[in-house]
Amino acid sequence: MPARSEQFQALVTRQPDNELFRFSLAKALEEENRPAEAVPHYEYCVAKKADWMMPRILLGKLLLRLDRRAEAKPLLSDALRLAIEQSHEEPAEELQALLAQL
What pLDDT does residue 1 have?
Answer: 63
Mean pLDDT, residues 68-78: 97
How many Cα atoms are found within 13 Å in the side-chain-facing hemisphere of 89? Answer: 0
Between CA 28 and CA 14 the distance in angstroms is 17
Fold of 4-100: 1.25.40
Give residue limits of the domains in the chain. Answer: 4-100
Mean pLDDT, residues 56-69: 97
> pTM for the complete prediction?
0.94
CA nearest to 90, candidates 79, 74, 100 = 79
What pLDDT does residue 2 have?
Answer: 72
What pLDDT does residue 42 have?
Answer: 98
| pLDDT tens digit sequence for 24-46 | 999 999 999 999 999 999 999 99
